[in-house]
Amino acid sequence: MVRAHTPASGELSEQFDQRSGAQTSAKNLTWSYAAFVTAFAARRAARRLIGH
């Protein structure tokens, strides 16, 4: 969903609309980027644990 709704500029918003996936709220907040990087790393670690 993130890939599909992130503009070419790479700007991330604080929130995504649950129905449409469109970005809402404030853009370019540091914690939005940090949360994405943290979630990506956690997903990668979980996939390694289950052998994917």
> pLDDT digits over 21-51, tens only?
888 888 888 888 888 899 999 999 999 999 8
pLDDT at 46: 96
Contacts of 34 (CB under 8 A, 6+ apart): none
User: 41: domain range?
Assistant: 2-49
Pairing of strands 23-27, 13-16: antiparallel
Q: Which of 11, 40, 37, 36 is closest to 26 using CA atoms? A: 11
- Average pLDDT value for residue range 9-23: 86
Strand partners, 7: none
Please count the other Cβ atoms lying within 10 Å of the Cβ belonging to residue 5: 14
How many structural domains comprise the chain? 1
pLDDT at 40: 93
Q: How far is CA 17 from CA 6, 34, 38, 50, in A?
A: 13, 19, 20, 30
pLDDT of 2 strictly over 80: no
